[in-house]
């Protein structure tokens, strides 16, 4: 019998497929058993201290090979998540990962303190260090090993459960950031968040997005995400979760062979709500053909 289960530190997953933050809403129609049975865990939408309406103007722009987004962390805030969302989500029987977006130290502490109240319903925190640090001139926390260490240490003082750190691909020294996160107590690394891009509307002769720059994701970033997974997994001993452009079983297998323990699916979910099922079908076919019984035996095999 094929074994596709993996462990992200102390968090056991029945499947190596995790739904990335922002791609699986709270609509009950998504939380069906026929969809969830193929999923190892679901990351919540980004959680901020206060409710956010998101960015004005265009938020989504398709390209031939990916998607630009400027959502602006639209969410209902930590109080609504704790009081209304998480009790219902936990009832679906799949691990829930709380994606936390931080802007300043005070706000981060408040969010984590509230999550402690529902720690029995939250399987892990995914700390998004791609956010700008408003106390440090809006530099992204995750571009600096020092700031990353500061953020992780702050969470660790309050939160005693599993802590994943979602890295930014904009970091000039990804291995240094990864080691800083590990040394400060991170249990896993998600590699990585969206790349930066932009689009021009040639008809209006203006930038598409009010903020000009947007996050770029989709199949086009897969080779770059794969390279980062290889680099980061070689630099740390904690599990790495590959994220960026995964859209097929071969993509998942490539991430695993490069050193990832699991993958997150994001943009591909907008195209195919059954992507986890289709990916696992392809992975199982490969494992059967190659006589691989345990997916974990393939982790990092391309480096051996």
Catalytic residue ranges = 131
Return the closest-CA partner of residue 164 out of 246, 260, 76, 35.
260
Q: Is 278 annotated as a binding residue?
A: no
Q: Is 278 exposed, middle or buried (0-12, 13-18, 19+ CB in 10 A)?
A: middle
Task: Please state the separation of Cα 60 from the chain's center in Å.
Answer: 19
Q: Is 171 annotated as a binding residue?
A: no
Q: Is 70 annotated as a binding residue?
A: yes
Given its phi and psi angles, is residue 218 left (phi above 0), alpha (psi -120 to 50 degrees) or beta? left
Return the closest-CA partner of residue 130 out of 86, 62, 181.
181
Q: Is 273 annotated as a binding residue?
A: no
Q: Is 303 annotated as a binding residue?
A: no
Return the closest-CA partner of residue 181 out of 125, 258, 109.
125
Q: Is 55 annotated as a binding residue?
A: no
Q: Is 7 annotated as a binding residue?
A: no
Q: Is 166 annotated as a binding residue?
A: yes
Q: Is 194 annotated as a binding residue?
A: yes
Q: Is 57 annotated as a binding residue?
A: no
Q: Is 107 annotated as a binding residue?
A: no
DSSP E strand stretches across 24-147: 41-43, 60-63, 66-69, 96-101, 124-128, 132-133, 139-140
Q: Is 71 annotated as a binding residue?
A: yes
Q: Is 69 annotated as a binding residue?
A: yes
Structure tokens at 63: 């390209």
Q: Which H or E element spans position 151?
A: helix 145-158
**Whether 100 contacts 152, CB under 8 Å:** no
User: What φ, ψ does residue 97 adopt, rounded to 5°?
Assistant: -110, 120
Q: Is 8 annotated as a binding residue?
A: no
Gap between the Cα atoms of 267 and 218, Å rounded: 5
Gap between the Cα atoms of 291 and 157, Å rounded: 45
Summarize the annotated binding site for FMN as residue ranges.
21, 45-46, 99, 128, 166, 218, 244-245, 266-267
Summarize the annotated binding site for substrate as residue ranges.
45, 69-73, 128, 193-194
Summarize the annotated binding site as residue ranges.
21, 45-46, 69-73, 99, 128, 166, 193-194, 218, 244-245, 266-267
């Amino acid at each position: 019998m094929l074994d596709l289960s993996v462990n992200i530190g102390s968090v056991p997953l029945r499947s190596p497929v995790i739904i990335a933050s922002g791609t699986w809403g709270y609509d009950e129609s998504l939380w069906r058993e026929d969809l969830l049975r193929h999923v190892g865990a679901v990351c919540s939408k980004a959680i901020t201290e206060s409710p956010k309406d998101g960015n004005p103007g265009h938020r989504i722009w398709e390209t031939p090979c990916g998607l630009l987004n400027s959502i602006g962390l639209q969410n209902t805030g930590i109080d609504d998540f704790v009081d209304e969302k998480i009790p219902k989500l936990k009832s679906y029987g799949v691990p829930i990962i709380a994606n936390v977006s931080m802007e300043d130290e005070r706000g981060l502490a408040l969010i984590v303190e509230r999550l402690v109240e529902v720690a029995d319903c939250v399987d892990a925190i995914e700390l998004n260090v791609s956010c700008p640090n408003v106390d440090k001139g809006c530099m992204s926390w995750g571009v600096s090993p020092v700031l990353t260490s500061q953020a992780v240490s702050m969470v660790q003082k309050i939160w005693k459960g599993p802590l994943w750190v979602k890295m930014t691909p904009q970091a000039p020294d990804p291995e240094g950031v990864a080691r800083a996160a590990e040394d400060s107590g991170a249990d896993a690394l998600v590699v990585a968040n969206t790349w930066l891009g932009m689009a021009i509307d040639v008809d209006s002769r203006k930038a598409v997005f009010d903020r000009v720059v947007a996050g770029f994701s989709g199949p086009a970033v897969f080779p770059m995400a794969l390279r980062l997974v290889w680099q980061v997994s070689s630099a740390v001993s904690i599990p790495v979760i590959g994220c960026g452009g995964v859209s097929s079983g071969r993509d998942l297998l490539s991430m695993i062979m490069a050193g990832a323990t699991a993958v997150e699916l994001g943009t591909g979910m907008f195209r195919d709500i059954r992507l986890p099922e289709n990916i696992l079908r392809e992975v199982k076919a490969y494992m059967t053909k190659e006589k691989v019984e345990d997916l974990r035996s393939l982790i990092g095999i391309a480096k051996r």
